[in-house]
Amino acid sequence: MKNIVKDYLPKAALILLIFSIICGLFYTLAITGIAQLLFPDKANGSIVEVNGKKYGCELLAQQFNDEKHMWGRIMNVDTETFTDKDGRPVMYASPSNLTPAGETKGKKTDEKRMKELVADRVAMIKKANPEQAGKKVPVDLVTCSGSGLDPGISVAAAKYQIPRLARTTGKSEKEIQKIVDKYTTHKFLGIFGEENVNVLKVNLALEGILKS
C-alpha cells in the first residue's frame, strides 16, 4: 500500500496541477480573450453606453411609466403599479402561488385576483393612450414575461403607444415609427422567433441620446 501511494500520488498530484492550469487558467484566458476580440459588447454585458455614460443593459428591462416614454412589459420588481385594498404594494410579476386553479382561505380565488390585476393594468394603459380608444390593448403590455425582466415588446405593443408619444414628445408619428423600426430585432433568417422592439433603446432615442 505504501508503495502504491509513493508511486502514484505524486503522478496524480502532477496531473491535477497540469489540468488545473490548462482548464482553469489557459482555457479561461483564451475564451475570455476570444470573446473580447470578437464580441466585446456582449462579453461586457451588452451595456448601452454613450459618450462614456452607461444607461443600462439592452438585455434587461427598465421601468418606464411616464407618458413621454415607451412602456415595456410588467417587471418582476414592480411594486408601484398595483396596491391592495390596504394600500400595500403588490409585486405583480414576482413569483407567487396565484394560479387560476388555486384558492386562499377566506379570500378571492387566485383566478379572480389575476383578472383584477390585468383589468387594472388594461385600464391604466387605456387611460394613458386615449388616442387608441376602442382598440384592444396588446397582451404583452398587461402581462409579464417568464423572467419578468424582458427588455422588449412586440411591434404591435410599440405601435399602440406611438400616438401618445407623438402627443407628449412633440415628435411626429413618422419620426417615432422610424425610431421603432430602427430598434426592432427581426426574425432570425426571416423565419425563426418573433420581431421584438427594445424599449430602452427606443426611449434613449426619444431623448436624443441614441441616434433615431
Q: Are residues 24 and 68 in the same domain?
A: no
Within-domain flag for 152: yes
pLDDT one digit per residue (tens) for the chain, 212 residues: 566 666 777 888 888 999 999 988 889 888 888 877 877 677 666 777 778 787 777 777 788 888 999 998 877 554 555 566 666 655 444 444 444 444 444 455 566 777 777 888 899 999 999 999 889 999 888 887 766 678 889 999 999 999 999 999 989 999 999 999 999 988 777 777 788 899 999 999 999 888 87
In a domain? residue 168: yes
Q: Are 96 and 10 contained in the same domain?
A: no
Same domain assignment for residues 38 and 94:
no
* 211 assigned to some structural domain: no
pTM: predicted TM-score of the whole model, two decimal places: 0.68
Residue 76 has φ and ψ, to the nearest 5°, of -65, -25
Residue 145 and residue 106 in one domain: yes
100 with 35, same domain: the answer is: no
What residue spans of 26-107 are helical by DSSP H? Answer: 27-38, 40-43
Full residue range of the structural domain in which residue 37 is found: 2-43
Q: How far is CA 167 from CA 170, 173, 184, 205, in A?
A: 6, 9, 22, 16
Task: Note whether residue 157 is domain-resident.
Answer: yes
Reference 82, options 112, 110, 118, 111; nearest CA is 118
CA dihedral angle for residue 209, residue 130, residue 121, residue 91, rounded to 10 degrees: 30
In a domain, 13, yes or no: yes
Q: Are residues 39 and 51 in the same domain?
A: no
Say yes or no: 21 and 80 in one domain.
Answer: no
Kindly state whether residues 118 and 157 are assigned to the same domain. Answer: yes
Q: Is residue 212 part of a domain?
A: no
Cell reading at 175: 419620426
CA-based max dimension of the chain: 87
